Amino acid sequence: MPATENTEITELIADVREQVLYLQELGVETLEFCGELRVENEELKTESREPLQISNLRSEISKPDAISNLRSQVPNIKPANAKPPETKPAGSRLASLPSLSKLSGSGPVRTKVDQGGPIEMENAPIILNTVELPMLPEPTETIEQIRAEIGPDCTRCKLSELGRSKVVNSTGNFNADLMFVGEAPGADEDEQGKPFVGRAGQLLTKIIESIGLTRDDVFIGNINRCRPPGNRAPETDETIACKPYLKREVAVVRPKVIVVLGATAAQNLLETKVPIGKLRGHFHDYLGVKVMPTFHPAYLLRDPHKKREVWEDMKIVRDYLNTQG
Ligand code: URA
């Protein structure tokens, strides 16, 4: 199978997996599908009206051969109006595959959630449209220009008045395939003006080395560049002021994967409230970049048993990067 198709199907599986997890979180156990499934002008009648068991679906899509199984089941499904990747408009990408949250139907959709009973969708032809998803902006600047704009004495948020000594900019390889994003600097970082140089940073170095890379190979930053007092989590206004610069840096570096460290950073980057224990272990999306949330190294210092999960996450990242050439 060509690599691009493989990637698209992998993305579909990731998307479906996320939807299934979400449905499970809502307490949905079965999906009863009573309508027609239409792809472009074709009409695919559903072969079976058996309710879909969410738990079965979840285990199916978690199997290593999920890609080939899925492909053999839907050999002819093509996204409507799909264009080859080189024709993608800047600032958006064509989602080749449907998302349950973005389905559009021409008929009335009746959704019934019956105290844990099946969801029914009647008379609802589901059109698998292509959906435009936001993408990273095209880079029009350099990391040095972004740093210069932020300046050494940034006062864009109240952290500048709350005891921060240095603005801690992202560092590392401006061309990196892999980027790490933490929450905000701690005391050591605040003193030295560099991210992840304290004890948690030393553990991060080991995590990077565990997949055969060095700190010079990767790009490391934080959602917030200034230390919050007492190492509290950054507040919303502080994050709103700072995060756009991180986004601009991501647009310049264009990493293939971002590993986001800890619940606060992961929830912030992905704009979700899902706990880190559920976010970790599989890829998410940030403007077209794959994101692997994992536990923060500072948390690992408190609970070393969690290192096993981080190692699992890093292996997924390493294996994905190895497929990217
Ligand atoms: N923790 C973070 O989240 N970032 C740092 O830079 C250091 C510790």
Mean pLDDT in residue range 49-66: 54
Burial class (CB in 10 A: 0-12, 13-18, 19+), 168: buried
98 lines ligand 1 (CB under 6 A): no
pLDDT of residue 2: 59
Q: Are 148 and 135 in contact (CB under 8 A)?
A: no
Q: Are residues 115 and 151 in the same domain?
A: no
281: domain CATH number?
3.40.470.10
- Does 152 lie in the same domain as 110? no
Ligand 1 neighbour 159 (Cβ under 6 A)? no
Q: Of 183, 207, 223, 260, which is best to mutate to test ligand 1, by the most ligand atoms within 8 angstroms of its C-beta?
A: 183
User: Does residue 112 share a domain with residue 162?
Assistant: no
212 inside domain: yes
Statement to judge: residues 151 and 291 lie in one domain: yes
Please state the rounded mean pLDDT for residues 302-316: 98
Residues 173 and 259 in one domain: yes
Cα(264) to centroid of ligand 1, in Å?
A: 11
Whether residue 87 is found in the same domain as residue 198 = no
Residue 44 or 295, more confident: 295
Q: How many CB atoms lie within 10 A of CB 26?
A: 11
Residue 246 and residue 294 in one domain: yes
Among the ranges given (25-39, 68-82, 160-174, 311-325), the one the predictor scored with the smallest mean pLDDT: 68-82
Residues 71 and 160 in one domain: no
- Range with lowest mean pLDDT among 2-16, 70-84, 114-128, 278-292: 70-84
User: Apex CA 270: angle with CA 217 and CA 282, to 5°?
Assistant: 65
Average pLDDT over residues 220-226: 98
The answer to whether residue 126 is domain-embedded is: no
List, for residues 108-125, the tens digit of each pLDDT value. Answer: 333 333 344 444 444 555
110 and 215, same domain (yes or no)? no
- Helix then strand count (H, E) for the chain reads 11, 16
DSSP 253: H
Q: How far apart are CA 111 and CA 61, in angstroms?
A: 24
* Number of compact structural domains in the chain: 2
- Report if residue 130 sits inside a domain: no
Q: Which atom of ligand 1 is nearest to the CA of 222?
A: 4
Of the chain, the percentage scoring pLDDT greater than 90 comes to 58
Query: Residue 129: inside a domain, yes or no?
Result: no
The predicted structure's pLDDT at residue 141: 98
Q: Is residue 183 part of a domain?
A: yes
**∠197-191-299 over CA atoms, to 5°?**
40
Alpha-carbon span 312 to 323, nearest angstrom? 17
Residue 118: per-residue pLDDT: 46
Could you identify the residue written with the tokens 């700190």? 215
Decide if 246 contacts 204 (C-beta within 8 A): no
Residues 210 and 63 in one domain: no
In a domain, 56, yes or no: yes
Q: Are residues 285 and 183 in the same domain?
A: yes
* Residue in the block written with tokens 């080749």: 96
Which two structure tokens, joined as six digits, stand for 197? 């140089």
Pairing type for strands 36-39 and 42-45 reads antiparallel
Where residue 243 falls among pLDDT bands split at 50, 70, 90? very high
Rounded to an integer, what is the distance from CA 142 to the centroid of its chain? 24
The verdict on residue 185 lying in a domain is yes
* Domain range enclosing 300: 143-324
Q: Which residue has the tokens 């698998």?
A: 128
Query: 117 with 147, same domain?
Result: no
For position 38, what pLDDT does the model report? 44
